[in-house]
Structure 1
């Protein structure tokens, strides 16, 4: 499996000489497998890079303190600097009026960024595997996602977040942990079917394997690769179109040429709206298909000054043959 991880690293250029990487490690099979593999790659000096470990104790499960100790003991054994944070995720979720899953994810990524700054690192490694990718694709399908959603989880994002295990299946990871006697921590909540992802993992995929396609993981992985190639090409064309129609880009506002926008193909228009929103806000969260369609209609029926507010943070104004994307409040991821 070490070779497979190394091939993934080289295929997507995930790690290069001089990188300093923060590894998100929960202590479960995936993350401890990732840590063990990257440690060996580092020790064998195949690539010259540094690693640090970041562990979040969500304070939800009684076993969480044992997970924390397990990660610390592994790091101590191999002289790896380990950063630990305890966060009452349920309390945070309640205060912010968001789901526990969302709160946990935000706490984790905020901490990873904190450790990234503290260690002057440039990348964050996340232990998503091929099964996680397929589960994500199915979730996107159920939500009516477009082509970009079929890509699932990408091996590298923003040239910072890397996923070295993305081409490894969960069974391979579990076998690796057994062979290496790593005795990873097991989160029993992964077997509970309270959340959508767990239902897909524990009910939907096993049913598809049994009744329709025993190779569904490989099949959807191929679909994902095809979708990624086509989506990435469209994204490249979108960037070119954006540069062509851009009038001004400021911190609080982006201005586009209305006439040139209306000349674009519908697919590119859709992507331009998302691309511009992300350039301005840092995310496309809260922008749905209906908002995109409304913005396109607004631009086509250019009579007088008109505007839309897809959400409380963004205003789209059509005025003087221009399209203004205006940031209304501080955007929260």
Structure 2
């Protein structure tokens, strides 16, 4: 049995390119039989692939026995002479604060921990212990929840090049047989039989019922379906990545998509592009649901004006010809008003306002001979307008929209007022009557606080 399982795993590794010689691999070990066997298999293959293994255990603190499991994994790593990396958090409190289920909250925190270790320790792979029965259960579970084609592909054997599942095509029974033959010990998670969890009801009630009354090889058939879909998903995913690359505004610091290009894609491909764009922006894909993709579609078509809230502290904002995915800065509820009597740097709620004498083609420049101090630096007010040649006056709200300033930034961006009239908006606008005619003048800049960033789409003035 040992040779058979090892042969299966090696075939999976070679076929899907899961490991390369010399890889530094983080092995996620919960203490259950699946993860214990995963560690044993990779330890047996360590010399052949010249691997460096690191054992990682994440404690969700949801059960009284969680400390027992942590100590068990520690002893296992120590016995094999491998580094042991421990993470812990209060998942229940996090789930309550973020409005997530316990399962979703635990998974998000656990993956975040693994990713942080991968970056900090310069690791090449994160090995997870999902196996064939997990794959069958996941496909059935997603079908019951109404998943699309991507969801029915189940659990990928490799994701984002570094998350690998070497046991994905090995059955639970094969894993148990291997563990007993090797004399391995493991810990049992009593929550795996708790019927309050939907996954457990699928595992212990639904699948046995289907096997008894419909088809004895339900698990195998579900796995085969998932594999067929997964292979087709690789092709579709590659198409979506190329489509995303064409739609991206390359020079933008955050994820900015071109609306005309997006509109030219079929809706099904566009959903995949949205999915990949959300991932690139840093949105937790575990939280993304169909409603979020529909909201992005409505924002693109103009049915919704936005901003569209996304999982976590992200938003999607529509501008002229673009759609941006960005983190939301902390809201500022109080307006600001400041009289300034000379050059200098002034701290505002959203960043730093700078006024200095000099020359600049990139910043707004006022003619010092046409104005005098004090100047007023303030936040916007209802009904604000600016003078615009050939138009007369333009509503500030419309101007901000045309310039692509996100709604959540509009109360933070300073306006410069002189004798009751808006004469400048740093980086965007200077009143024609007060614009510097020569090379030098009073240069105005606004530098948002760190973490408050977006692409400037157009400049005027």
Rounded Cα–Cα distance in structure 1 between residues aligned with 2:197 and 2:243: 39
Rounded Cα–Cα distance in structure 1 between residues aligned with 2:283 and 2:128: 20
Give 1:103's aligned residue.
105
Rounded Cα–Cα distance in structure 2 between residues aligned with 1:87 and 1:295: 32
Bigger radius of gyration: 2
Is 2:266 the partner of 1:265? yes
Is 2:24 the partner of 1:20? yes
Q: TM-score, normalised by structure 2?
A: 0.64
Quickly say closer, same or farther: Cα 1:4–1:228, change in 2 above 3 A.
Answer: same
**Where is the strand percentage greater, Structure 1 or Structure 2?**
2
What secondary structure is seen at the aligned counterpart in 1 of 2:103? Answer: helix
What secondary structure is seen at the aligned counterpart in 1 of 2:49? Answer: coil
Quickly say closer, same or farther: Cα 1:207–1:318, change in 2 above 3 A.
Answer: farther
Give 1:240's aligned residue.
242
Quickly say closer, same or farther: Cα 1:59–1:239, change in 2 above 3 A.
Answer: closer
Is 2:76 the partner of 1:74? yes
What secondary structure is seen at the aligned counterpart in 1 of 2:25? Answer: strand
Quickly say closer, same or farther: Cα 1:106–1:284, change in 2 above 3 A.
Answer: closer
Give 1:329's aligned residue.
328
Give 1:35's aligned residue.
39
Rounded Cα–Cα distance in structure 1 between residues aligned with 2:99 and 2:265: 40
What secondary structure is seen at the aligned counterpart in 2 of 1:60? Answer: coil
Q: CA deviation at 1:66?
A: 2.9
The answer to which structure, 1 or 2, has the higher relative contact order (CA under 8 A, 6+ apart) is 1
Give 1:255's aligned residue.
257
Give 1:142's aligned residue.
144
Q: TM-score, normalised by structure 1?
A: 0.86
Q: Residue 64 of structure 2: which of 62, 68, 74 is its match?
A: 62
The number of residue pairs the alignment matches comes to 323
Give 2:53's aligned residue.
51
Question: Counterparts of 1:1-333 in structure 2 under 5 Å?
Answer: 1-42=5-46, 45-248=47-250, 250-258=252-260, 260-284=261-285, 287-293=288-294, 295-296=296-297, 299-300=300-301, 306-307=305-306, 309-311=308-310, 313-317=314-318, 319=320, 322-329=321-328
What secondary structure is seen at the aligned counterpart in 1 of 2:325? Answer: strand
Rounded Cα–Cα distance in structure 2 between residues aligned with 1:298 and 1:75: 50
Residues 26 and 56 of structure 2 are in contact (CA less than 8 Å); yes or no, is this contact kept in structure 1?
yes
Stretch moving more, 264-273 or 165-174: 264-273
Rounded Cα–Cα distance in structure 2 between residues aligned with 1:74 and 1:286: 33
1:235-286 Cα deviation digits (max 9, x unpaired): 222222233343445233403141x333322322222232333333444455
1:124-164 Cα deviation digits (max 9, x unpaired): 11111111112211222122111111111111111111111
Aligned CA-pair RMSD = 2.6
Give 2:360's aligned residue.
none
Unaligned regions of 5+ residues in structure 2, if any?
330-461
Residues 130 and 168 of structure 2 are in contact (CA less than 8 Å); yes or no, is this contact kept in structure 1?
yes
What secondary structure is seen at the aligned counterpart in 2 of 1:98? Answer: coil
**Where is the helix percentage greater, Structure 1 or Structure 2?**
1
What secondary structure is seen at the aligned counterpart in 2 of 1:52? Answer: strand
Rounded Cα–Cα distance in structure 1 between residues aligned with 2:64 and 2:292: 43
1:49-73 Cα deviation digits (max 9, x unpaired): 1101112333333333332232222
What secondary structure is seen at the aligned counterpart in 2 of 1:182? Answer: coil
Residues 245 and 261 of structure 1 are in contact (CA less than 8 Å); yes or no, is this contact kept in structure 2?
yes
